[in-house]
Structures are given as C-alpha cells and as structure tokens.
Amino acid sequence: MNKQLILDHADAAVEFNKNEAKVDWHDETLWFVRTKRDRAVAQIPEWEQLREAASQIKNHVLSNMHDLLIQFEENAIRNGIKIHWAADGDEHNAIVLDIIKQAGATRMVKSKSMLTEECHLNKYLIDNGIEVIDSDLGERIVQMRNEPPSHIVLPAIHLTKAEVGETFHEHLGTDKGATDPQYLTEAARQHLRETFLTRKVALTGVNFAIAETGGFVVCTNEGNADMGAHLADVHIAAMGFEKIIPRAEHLGVFLRLLARSATGQPITTFSSHFHRPRPGQEMHIVIVDNGRSRQLGRPDFRNSLKCIRCAACLNTCPVYRRSGGFSYHSAVAGPIGSILAPNLDMKKNADLPFASTLCGSCSNVCPVKIDIHDQLYKWRQVLMREGYGPGSKTVAMKAMATVLESPRLYRMAGKVGRGVLRFAPITVENGLNPWYNQREMPEPPAESFHDWYVNHKKA
C-alpha cells in the first residue's frame, strides 16, 4: 500500500544476489573483518566494562546534550573556532557553500564524513559550481564511479580490484587491466597529493567533540583528513550534535573501542585533536540537527544517537553481508542505518527495519551497547501502526491478526493449512507468500498439537 520505492531492500537484495560469487566474497570478507574485531577484543580483558562505560557516558551525553553543546560552543569560540548551527541538511549545505565563497574558492577537498552524505553535500556544491574531491581512497573510488559509499568504514567494499582498476584506468590513466592494489593505491596517492596541495578549503568529519576543551578529534588510517586540513587556509568540520563528549579523558574509552570494533586495529593510524586554527588559518564547525533532536525525543529510539559509526554492526549482520550496502538506499546502511533512516523519512525507509533477522548479533558487538535489534523490532511496530508497513507484509499480517484473534478460525486455519501443505504445496510456494522466498517449507505434521492433545486425552 505504501510501496513507493523504486527498489525496496528485499528487491535490491535480490539484484545483489544475482552475482553469487561476488556475494560470497562480500559475505566472507566482511565476516573476516568481524573475526579481526574478535581477535582485537580478546586482548582487552576489560572489554565489557569498557563498553558499559562508553554506553553510560553516552547516556549522560544524551541527557545533558543542551548544556554540553553550550559549553562546547563557548570553549570552541574561545579557541578561535567559528561555530555554525544547521537545523537540517539544506542549511548545513548552504553554510558550507557560504564559507567556501567567502574564501574565494571554487574547489574543496573532503575527508570522510557520513554526515555530508546524509545531507547530499557533494551534489549541492557541484550544482553551485564548486568542485569537490573526496580524499579517502574508498570514497574517491566510489565518487569516480558516481556511486555513494556502500559501507560507513569501507566505502568501496562492494567493488572488486578489477572494477577499481577499470575505474582508475578511465579516470587516472593507470594501465588497462591493472589490478594490483599497491599500484592502484600509489596512483591515487599521487593524484590526491596534488589535490591536497592545491585546495584552499578542506572539509572533515568529526568523530568526537570535547565539551570541556572546545576541540574535536578526527580519526583516519590514511592521513587524508590531516593532509587536507593542515594544508588548507580554511578547515570546515561538520558534525551531528550527538558527537559531543563531556571531557578529554573520556576519549580514552572511545578510542580504545572504536578501531578495534571497526577493523580490529588497536587504534587508527591518526587520532588528530584539533583545538585552534594554525596561524593564519580559519576553522569552522558546523553543528547539525537534521532530525536528531526528534530522535532524541523518542524514548524507544534515542539510543541510536549513541552510535560512534564503527560499522561493527554492519560487518556482523547476516543480512547486510548478503544484501550489500546499496540495498539500504540510505547514507548509513546496515542495522544502525535501519534505525536511523525511518526517523529521517518513515515512508521512504519503511522497509529497512524489516531487513533484519533480529538475531541480535549487532547489539552484541556494538561498542556503545545500543539495543539495535530491539529498536528494529520496535520500529516495525511503529511503522505498521502508522500504516507504513511494506505492502505484502501488511496484507499477510492483517489476515494473520484476524486469525490469531479467533480461536475457532485459528484451528480451522491450521486444518486447512496442513491440508494445503500436504496436497497443494504450490499455493504456499507462490510469489505471493514472501516467507517462501529462498526457503523450503517444512513437512506439515499429520495432526495439530490441538488434535493430538484432544485424541490423547480421550485415550
């Protein structure tokens, strides 16, 4: 009834699964990243206590958001940083464009920021005559291909090295057929060095913003955020307001958790703490809401704002691994994306909370202990109630609800059902029954539990 999507998650997953070898590779590679995470975690005996501490610090942050933001702003301004506030993506984009224009620039280099993906900043800037180059290698690859990132930490995880080789051959003039990652990375390094050295404006994301000191931390392995920011005359840092933490000491908790959860590394190569612009430089922070304060007001879903974007929940998710990032049609894919997206647009993203087996693996690995699978389950209820349930499920669920409400109908349905399964499985195994997709229906029992009970009581 509300199936307005071009391709909802299930249909997009079917597309993705057409290339079975690639799906298997995708699945196994992400699982490998998950096992690296497990090995790193096993080396920290206090891991569970760390998660608990992180979760509680974030609970405090959610409850004290207003004051922490004011404290952060005050200290950042004292540090010589300009603070901007953006209610939504459009306002964020307009602020960034304005800063670029003030700097007299027409080109910008950008490091990874899922927020700018959420706000569709690149498209906006390009439409306004500004050239944007993404400098994270994975992001640069997908940008050349006119694709969004398919994973929040590994943006090009959906591509093979042959595909990257093709893209680089076309855009960077590397040898045709070249697939050696070392060679391809070197080509990108040369290309992006030139970019870093010639851009007057650089935009980075923010991993953590420290209220106590008015500074912020950006984590990368490639060093691209630093190369961009330290060479530019103007540094813009874009952050969702939930990135705030109370004190610098709390970074000890989060930096111990983040990279281990993400890729199994003990910490990222660079964890850069920015507090003041360098002499002659301008530093701006754009603090963005874009639905976050609404999510903060939803008791069942506010915990999603504790996320530190490590992607552990994506890597572990059996559905993400076998459906790919694009099937989520949202800037943030996977389990966390599926609880964030309905807040941004319930109708458009109504399919996402259903893209889960509710196995709970996401909640088990989440370093800030977000109850991800519970929230997925709760979103389903909200969406059904609001009439946004995916079409086929709505019809089936309504029929099921009617049957379950009446004991007589329930017993009759069982009898009919067992008959149907035994004598005419085709009616169950048709395309109208989504449950049958990819599944074998079980052998129906000869008698129901009810019949068995009644017969045995008689005997």
Partner 1 sequence: MTTRDQMLASIKANQPAMRPIPAQFTFTSVYPDLTQQFIDILTFVGGAALIVPDFAAIRASLQTQFPNMTSVATTCDELADLADVTMNVSDPHELSGLNLAIIEGPLAVAENAAIWVDERQLPQRVAPMITQYLVIIIRQSTIVPNMHDAYKLLKVDETGFGTFICGPSKTADIEQSLVIGAHGARSLMVYILP
Site for partner 1 in 122-151 (CB under 8 A): 135-138, 141
Q: Which stretch binds partner 1 (CB under 8 A): 252-260, 318-326, 407-415, 417-425?
A: 252-260
158 touches 149 (CB < 8 A): no
Q: How far apart are CA 42 and CA 217, in angstroms?
A: 26
Q: Yes or no: say if 276 and 239 are a contact pair by the CB < 8 Å rule.
A: no
- CB 167 to partner 1: min, Å: 10
Selected range binding partner 1 among 276-284, 357-365, 374-382, 399-407, rule: CB under 8 A: 276-284
Shortest Cβ 165–ligand SF4 spacing (Å): 30
Site for partner 1, residues 287 to 326, rule: CB under 8 A: 287, 289, 293-294, 296-297, 299, 302
Q: In whole angstroms, how far apart are CA 31 and each of 25, 34, 173, 298, 333?
A: 10, 5, 33, 32, 16
Q: Which of 118, 136, 154, 114 is nearest to 321 (CA)?
A: 154
| 267 touches partner 1 by CB under 8 A | yes
Binding partner at 378 among partner 1, ligand SF4, none, C-beta below 5 to 8 Å by kind = none
Which of ligand SF4, partner 1, none does residue 24 bind to, with CB < 5 to 8 Å depending on kind?
none
- Measure the CA–CA gap between 87 and 287, rounded to whole angstroms: 9
- The interface with partner 1 within residues 411-440 (CB under 8 A) comprises none
Q: Which of residues 223-242 bind partner 1 (CB under 8 A)?
A: 223-224, 226-227, 230-231, 241
**Which of ligand SF4, partner 1, none does residue 310 bind to, with CB < 5 to 8 Å depending on kind?**
ligand SF4
Q: Which positions from 29 through 88 interact with partner 1, judged by CB under 8 A?
A: 29, 32-33, 44, 46, 49-50, 52-53, 56-57, 59-60, 62-66, 69-70, 79, 85-87
State residue 224 phi and psi, 5-degree precision.
-75, -35
Task: Please give the Cα distance from 269 to 223 (Å, whole number).
Answer: 8
φ, ψ for residue 267, nearest 5 deg: -170, 160
Binding site for ligand SF4 (CB under 6 A): 261, 307-313, 336, 365-368, 370, 372
CA–CA gap between residue 209 and residue 217 (Å, rounded):
6
Least distance from ligand SF4 to the Cβ atom of residue 77, Å: 29
CB atoms closer than 10 angstroms to residue 35: 12
Q: Which does 121 bind (CB under 5 to 8 A by kind): partner 1, ligand SF4, none?
A: none
In this structure, what are the phi and psi dihedrals at residue 15, rounded to the nearest 5 degrees?
Answer: -55, -50
Touching partner 1, residues 105-124 (CB under 8 A): none
Q: Shortest Cβ distance from residue 373 to partner 1 (Å)?
A: 21
Stretch that binds partner 1, among 114-122, 221-229, 318-326, 360-368 (CB under 8 A): 221-229
Selected range binding partner 1 among 267-275, 386-394, 426-434, 443-451, rule: CB under 8 A: 267-275
To partner 1, the closest distance from the beta carbon of 254 in angstroms equals 9
Query: Phi, psi (5° rounding) for residue 19?
Result: -95, 90
Pick between residue 174 and residue 394 the one whose CB is nearest to partner 1.
174
Smallest separation, CB 152 to partner 1 (Å)? 13
Burial class of residue 399, CB neighbours in 10 A (0-12, 13-18, 19+): exposed
List, in order, residues 6 or more apart from 149 with CB less than 8 Å away: 114, 117, 138, 139, 142, 155, 156, 325
Token reading at 127: 């439409």
Is residue 84 within 8 Å of residue 287, measured between CB atoms?
yes
Residue type at 306?
Answer: K
Q: Which is nearer to partner 1, 121 or 231 (CB)?
A: 231
Helix, strand, coil content of the chain in percent (nearest 5): 55, 10, 35
Whole-angstrom distance between the N-terminal and C-terminal Cα of the chain?
Answer: 50
Q: Which is nearer to partner 1, 157 or 332 (CB)?
A: 157
Reduce the DSSP state of residue 382 to 3 states and report it: helix
Tell me the site size for partner 1, rule CB under 8 A.
Answer: 93
Q: Which does 274 bind (CB under 5 to 8 A by kind): partner 1, ligand SF4, none?
A: partner 1
Strands 282-288 and 215-220: unpaired
Out of partner 1, ligand SF4, none, what residue 154 binds, judged by CB under 5 to 8 A for its kind, is: partner 1
Q: Name which of 116 and 261 has its Cβ closer to ligand SF4.
A: 261
- Closest separation between CB of residue 307 and ligand SF4, Å? 3
Alpha-carbon distance 72 to 237, whole Å?
Answer: 14
Q: Which does 155 bind (CB under 5 to 8 A by kind): partner 1, ligand SF4, none?
A: partner 1
Name the binder of 448 from partner 1, ligand SF4, none, CB < 5-8 A by kind: none
